[in-house]
């Protein structure tokens, strides 16, 4: 990766393109100057006003890093330091070769303009004038609607140039909508609001070649334990788009509630939802799926079974241990409930649920759950015991694993039926079924992807990888973002405490987890299980920690979290500007006084002196 910088010329170049006479500094106290690789806060005066710049502009160029881009690009980045004022009333979009995607691109264009508007604190004081800007999208004319898959090429090239008249030309080239959309996201980060000149400014010349390292970059949200409005889900999708995450794993149902409308089985949501106002209708699902697609995100449904079912299944005689007490004898949390694999009619209900999900989501990959199955639950059911004995089976653990294998085989057949025999790849959680010897007997590595939720150091992960399975990493010791809180079934703290800081999320290396089998890692997901979270606390649980995950999955930086900290502080502000209630990381003073807050700033070379040395070294190596 090569960085080309000319940071020391920032102040002079900006002064040359500014129209200072039109503005007054009476209401401004502070500005910034780039001094040897650091944005330093200065009191404005008549003497320094001409060369002082706003913090977003300064941070875009000052220093030897990539400025404010998040996530860090993986290819060549060249950013010249000249800024141009842009008249946002004269930004035009040209979609070459995208005739069949016009609706999709119009939605992306509207979102782009909304992001620019979000930066402007007050339209009334926005300076008049500025240059015209043209955004040219170059992709092949795709014959079918855009659909993200594991084979999708998400790379893009962004070139920004300025002609002799000052007209800014931004050209984005990609293989498809998804790559081009990422390029548009990067372009938006190179357009900033200068609060000193009260202008919207863009980098006048730039070239960025970029592509993600991991194909699967996701977040999981559990909407069963607590209900989330469509509005809050869309807000999460918006945050994901800002950092180029591409998979929203929707854990829609669980034993606590069944909030999904299944057309052929309306009793499921009527009996299973917390209220009829807390149901995801077909219209709701279609809206979420399309909202995600515009933002480059697949929305993947999960129907977790055979455990984690209960509410909605009343009166069917298809479950075991539903709401059994004492619950800790039958499941990991209340209410308990598992499907009864011996009831043939139960698979007809599953087929209708799967049919609704495939019809609504059109998934390229489907999640069948499969975690935390309790053999004691099944063993508490006399009909299940009698059925197993009739098969000539015993009632030992291995026999119940055989019952589980029977369920998985039958359920998979129903998935294939509604998917018209396309053999959609299936994801399962790590569980008893993914352990030896059962994994070899029941799960074909050509068909199943295993999602890891145990610790990153769990030796069972290597055993799975050795067998050739692709994996998605969600190790709870780094990626369960609901950890850290009071206990809710007892006193003390919840089971996976303590709280996981963004630093641990950022440094969670998938290569370290997979070792020699890194090529089997599709990517990772951060997860929110909603026992103690709802839509009112959702944003500050995901953000900005999900941004830390996004950079790890996009570029897998060799450096640790320290090099990203000051950039993440500014990125967090961008999340807030775009309507996300992202958790505060530090006092705002730390944002305004770069690299002054780390306790070991000088000893670790992170303070001014250290950064000066790093800047000199990077200049010599360039």
The two tokens of residue 602 are 């000088």
Q: What distances in angstroms separate CA 180 from CA 65, 100, 300, one per listed residue?
A: 24, 15, 22
Helix (H) or strand (E) holding 343: none
Could you tell me where the DSSP H helices lie in 10-141?
Answer: 10-17, 55-61, 102-119
Find all residues with CB under 8 Å of 422, minimum gap 6, and list them.
Answer: 416
Element (H, E) at 403: helix 397-418
The answer to whether 438 and 432 are in contact (CB under 8 A) is: yes
Q: Report how far residue 503's alpha carbon sits from residue 569's, in angstroms, rounded to the nearest whole number.
A: 12
Q: Are strands 216-222 and 247-251 parallel, antiparallel or unpaired?
A: parallel
Nearest alpha carbon to residue 158 among 169, 147, 143:
169
Which residue among the candidates 267, 372, 531, 583 is catalytic per the annotation?
A: 372
The one-character DSSP state at 312 is B
DSSP track, 174-217: ESSHHHHHHHHHHHHHTEEEETTTTEEEEESSEEEEE--S-SEE
* Strand-pair partners of 207: 78, 159
Instruction: Verify whether residue 372 is a known catalytic residue.
Output: yes
256 with 323: CB under 8 angstroms?
no
Q: Which of the residues are catalytic?
A: 372
């Amino acid at each position: 990766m090569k960085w080309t910088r000319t940071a020391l010329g920032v102040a002079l170049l900006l002064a040359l393109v500014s129209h200072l006479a039109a503005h007054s500094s009476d209401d401004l106290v502070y500005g910034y100057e780039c001094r040897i690789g650091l944005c330093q806060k200065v009191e404005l005066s008549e003497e320094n006003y001409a060369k002082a710049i706003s913090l977003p502009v300064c941070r875009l160029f000052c220093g030897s890093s990539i400025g404010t881009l998040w996530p860090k690009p993986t290819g060549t980045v060249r950013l010249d330091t000249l800024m141009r004022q842009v008249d946002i009333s004269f930004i035009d979009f040209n979609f070459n070769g995208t005739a069949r995607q016009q609706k999709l691109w119009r939605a992306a264009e509207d979102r782009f303009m909304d992001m620019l508007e979000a930066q402007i604190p007050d339209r009334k004081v926005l300076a008049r004038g500025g240059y015209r800007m043209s955004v040219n999208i170059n992709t092949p004319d795709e014959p079918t609607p855009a659909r993200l898959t594991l084979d999708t090429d998400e790379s893009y090239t962004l070139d920004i140039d300025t002609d002799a008249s000052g007209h800014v030309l931004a050209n984005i080239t990609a293989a498809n909508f998804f790559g081009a959309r990422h390029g548009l996201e990067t372009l938006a980060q190179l357009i900033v609001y200068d609060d000193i000149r009260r202008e919207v400014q863009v980098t006048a010349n730039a070239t960025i070649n970029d592509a993600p390292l991991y194909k699967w970059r996701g977040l999981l949200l559990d909407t069963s334990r607590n209900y989330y409005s469509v509005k809050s889900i869309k807000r999460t999708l918006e945050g994901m788009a800002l950092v180029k995450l591409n998979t929203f794993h929707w854990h829609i149902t669980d034993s606590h509630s069944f909030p999904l409308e299944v057309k052929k089985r309306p009793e499921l949501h009527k009996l299973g939802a917390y209220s009829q106002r807390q149901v995801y209708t077909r219209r709701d699902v279609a809206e979420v799926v399309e909202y995600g697609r515009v933002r480059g995100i697949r929305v993947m449904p999960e129907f977790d079974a055979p455990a984690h079912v209960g509410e909605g299944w009343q009166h069917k005689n298809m479950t075991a241990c539903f709401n059994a007490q004492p619950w800790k004898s039958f499941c990991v949390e209340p209410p308990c409930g598992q499907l009864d694999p011996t009831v043939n009619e139960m698979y007809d209900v599953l087929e209708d649920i799967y049919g609704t999900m495939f019809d609504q989501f059109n998934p390229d990959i489907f999640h069948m759950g499969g975690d935390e199955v309790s053999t004691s639950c099944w063993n508490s059911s006399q009909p299940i015991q009698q059925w197993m004995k009739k098969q000539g089976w015993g009632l030992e653990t291995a026999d119940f694993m055989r019952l589980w294998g029977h369920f998985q085989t039958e359920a998979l057949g129903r998935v294939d039926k509604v998917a018209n025999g396309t053999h959609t790849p299936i994801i399962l959680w790590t569980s008893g079924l993914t352990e030896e010897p059962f994994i070899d007997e029941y799960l074909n590595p050509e068909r199943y992807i295993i999602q890891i939720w145990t610790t990153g150091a769990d030796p069972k992960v290597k055993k799975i990888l050795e067998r050739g399975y692709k994996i998605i990493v969600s190790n709870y010791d780094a990626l369960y973002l609901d950890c850290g809180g009071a206990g809710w079934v007892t006193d003390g703290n919840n089971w996976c405490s303590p709280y996981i800081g963004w630093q641990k999320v950022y440094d969670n290396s998938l290569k370290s987890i997979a070792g020699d089998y890194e090529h089997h890692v599709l990517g990772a997901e951060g997860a929110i299980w909603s026992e103690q979270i709802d839509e009112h606390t959702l944003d500050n649980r995901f953000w900005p920690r999900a941004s830390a995950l996004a950079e790890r999955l996009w570029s897998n930086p060799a450096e640790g979290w320290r090099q990203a900290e000051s950039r993440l502080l500014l990125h967090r502000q961008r999340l807030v500007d775009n309507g996300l209630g992202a958790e505060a990381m530090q006092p705002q003073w730390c944002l305004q006084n770069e690299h002054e807050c780390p306790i070991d700033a000088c000893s670790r070379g992170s303070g001014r002196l250290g950064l000066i040395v790093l800047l000199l070294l990077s200049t010599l190596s360039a």
